[in-house]
Chain A
Amino acid sequence: MLIISCGNDRSKGVRLKLNLKIKIGKAEFKNPVFTASGTFGYGEEYADVFDISKLGAVITKGLTLKEREGNEGLRIHEVPCGLINRIGLQNVGVDDFIKEKTHFLKEQNAAVIANVAGFSENEFYSIIRKLEGQDIIKGYEINVSCPNVKKGGIEFSNDKTLFKNLLKTLRKETKKILIVKLSPSAGNIINFAGIAQDEGCNAVTVANTFKSAVIDTRKQKIKIRGGLSGPAVFPAVLNLVLEIKKAVKIPVIASGGIYNPDTAIQFLLAGATAVQIGTANFIDPMISISIIDGIKKYMQEQKINDINSIIGKVKI
């Protein structure tokens, strides 16, 4: 894709050599900008827009054991500065992902984290077993927080024993990095982050979408119930990152409402080791690249050599 736009402000003057590399567990990523699961497909749609190897990581659409068609009816609804979705994990299933998508991602030289969405402990386990042999997968993001499926997923975010046992099982199964994507709608997200740390997870993603609803006042009926994302949730997620970072030592990956370099940098300052760009991909398919460039510009302006030196600089 070509980008034709007005203005391209690059900082001038003496240029520092920048280090944007970050580490999660033993895995190194070339920069802290990842794309959020469910907003980037399997990378294909964006690969003809930009070079996806430039991203810190591509997190795949949630993979289930079997292919899923997703939810019927209205799936997305715009609200001021946000989007409510109820897609319902439409995905090709893990087998077709391995068969049809991994080769492409390898060709693109993308760093890939597989988002894994099971409906039982056994399903999570089976999906990871199938993916284990795939060199391209650097790690797993365990999706226990999708608000849009009737059962499974999010149940794990509401039950500490289920959650703990699931992570214990998965930790034994893989040496790759294990990240848990937490629900902001769970009872106490900080406790769940603590359990993830205790069970040997390498990071937590804060957070999935917020359970939300809209009523059609003419029909006096629910218009949509689903997960809220977009700039509307950013300050709430930023606060969660600050609180969780205070409570746990493992890396936090921030996901929620980033729409420009400044919001991404706020997350890094609040303690996020990496950030995920989600809904903003729908508005500007080049946004992740703009954010990487914006972070570099900020580092130049602030004379910061190493991105790691600003992570968690602001505390509560």
Chain B
Amino acid sequence: MKKILSTSRIIENRKITDDTFLMKFENRNPDKPLPGQFLNIKFKDHLDPFLRRPFAVFDFDRKTLSILYKVVGRTTSMLSQLQKNDLIEYLGFLGEPFDRDRTFNKLWVVAGGIGIGGLHLFIKNMKQNNDLELFIGFNTEEEADAFIRFLKPLHIRINAAVMDPKGKSKYFKGNIVKLLKKETKRCDTLFACGPELMLKSLYSDIIQKKRIPAYFSMDAIMACGIGSCMGCTIKIKEKGLTRFKRVCKEGPVFNADHIVWE
């Protein structure tokens, strides 16, 4: 698959919740992105912010690519200010994708809020041939309402948990791991993307205990995105040894059993 370095025009930069945006821009890649792959993005002709920022490919068609992002700092705030016809530079498609060649009887996809950005394409790919269920956690009820409306076109079963619901809520109260703990059924394989703390407790409280095969899409501070700078490494168990593996190159998807949690 050829990597493309493209300057693309923004088609839309739409608000999904108070702090979550969907940005669509021109797709210049001849190949299709694989679920779990990402783009390394920068502002056109800017030296500040200095580094590119990695974002999972949320969706694509022949002419467009999209990313889903949450405003968490200066860069994402600047991204949210961009408008239709502004330019953005992307490098992609990068990283190793989720395993999508197998079929599963029962597939669970677990997202920590904005982590759905890294799983959306995978869900779209897998929902046809698999019994797939999404578990997704949010901070507030408003956020959950907006996301569930936004994800409606997927037509999948969504189990949402909300950390801080107001009064009597239609959602499960607590974090997503707590919700999964209550789940009496089990799945063949679990795929997840979310904050490191969520993934860590998902691993120790669910995956390890129930012995479920699982794959996590990991996040890291990155520079090059193509495996050269060695900046984004995490500890991975390999043949009895612990090695530093690059999230951008060997990842971002790793077998959860191989990740060394600190």
Residues of A within 8 A of B (CB): 1-6, 38-41, 45-46, 48-49, 69-70, 72, 74-83, 85, 87, 90, 230-231, 259, 279, 281-286
Residue in A closest to B7 when the chains form the complex, CB atoms: A5
* A3-B5, A4-B5, A5-B6 known; A90 vs B48 contact (CB < 8 Å): no
Question: Can you list 20 A-B pairs with a CB-CB distance of less than 8 A?
Answer: A1-B2, A2-B30, A4-B4, A4-B5, A6-B7, A39-B228, A40-B228, A41-B227, A45-B224, A70-B233, A75-B230, A78-B221, A79-B50, A81-B47, A81-B50, A259-B47, A282-B223, A282-B229, A283-B51, A285-B224
Asked if B49 lies at the interface with its beta carbon under 8 angstroms from chain A, I say: yes
Given contacts A6-B7, A75-B232, A279-B223, 20 further A-B pairs with CB under 8 A are A1-B3, A2-B2, A2-B5, A3-B5, A4-B6, A41-B227, A46-B228, A69-B243, A74-B221, A75-B233, A76-B222, A78-B221, A83-B50, A87-B230, A87-B231, A90-B244, A231-B47, A282-B224, A285-B5, A285-B224
Q: How far is the CB of B262 from chain A (nearest CB, A)?
A: 8
Contact indicator per residue, chain B 69-93, by CB within 8 Å of chain A (1) or not (0): 0000000000000000001000100
Residues of B within 8 A of A (CB): 2-7, 28, 30, 42, 47-52, 87, 91, 221-224, 226-233, 235, 243-244, 249
Q: Are A70 and B230 in contact (CB under 8 A)?
A: yes
Chain A neighbourhood of B3, CB < 8 A? 1, 48-49
Q: In the bound complex, what is the Cα–Cα distance between A149 and B262 (angstroms)?
A: 22
Residue in A closest to B52 when the chains form the complex, CB atoms: A283
Q: How far is the CB of B67 from chain A (nearest CB, A)?
A: 18
Q: In the bound complex, what is the Cα–Cα distance between A40 and B226 (angstroms)?
A: 10
Q: Are A45 and B243 in contact (CB under 8 A)?
A: no
Chain A neighbourhood of B229, CB < 8 A? 38-39, 76, 85, 87, 282
Chain A neighbourhood of B228, CB < 8 A? 39-41, 45-46, 281-282
Q: Are A80 and B224 in contact (CB under 8 A)?
A: no
Q: In the bound complex, what is the Cα–Cα distance between A49 and B94 (angstroms)?
A: 13
Q: Are A5 and B42 in contact (CB under 8 A)?
A: no
* A69-B244, A81-B47, A90-B244 known; A284 vs B233 contact (CB < 8 Å): no
Q: In the bound complex, what is the Cα–Cα distance between A76 and B233 (angstroms)?
A: 10
Q: Is the interface of A mostly helix, strand, loop or mixed?
A: loop
- 8 A-B pairs closest in CB distance: A76-B231, A282-B224, A282-B223, A41-B228, A45-B228, A4-B6, A4-B28, A1-B3
Q: How far is the CB of A196 from chain B (nearest CB, A)?
A: 28
Q: In the bound complex, what is the Cα–Cα distance between A282 and B28 (angstroms)?
A: 21
Q: Are A77 and B224 in contact (CB under 8 A)?
A: no
Q: In the bound complex, what is the Cα–Cα distance between A3 and B92 (angstroms)?
A: 11
* A85-B229, A90-B244, A283-B42 known; A1 vs B221 contact (CB < 8 Å): no
Q: How far is the CB of B218 from chain A (nearest CB, A)?
A: 15
Q: Are B50 and A82 in contact (CB under 8 A)?
A: yes
Q: Are A282 and B51 in contact (CB under 8 A)?
A: yes
Chain A neighbourhood of B232, CB < 8 A? 75-76
Chain A neighbourhood of B91, CB < 8 A? 285
Q: Are B51 and A78 in contact (CB under 8 A)?
A: yes
Q: How far is the CB of B243 from chain A (nearest CB, A)?
A: 7
Q: In the bound complex, what is the Cα–Cα distance between A74 and B231 (angstroms)?
A: 8
Q: Which single member of B48, B226, B233 contacts A45 (CB below 8 Å)?
A: B226
Q: In the bound complex, what is the Cα–Cα distance between A77 and B49 (angstroms)?
A: 12
Chain A neighbourhood of B244, CB < 8 A? 69-70, 90
Q: How far is the CB of A43 from chain B (nearest CB, A)?
A: 9
Residue in B closest to A46 when the chains form the complex, CB atoms: B228
Q: Are B50 and A90 in contact (CB under 8 A)?
A: no
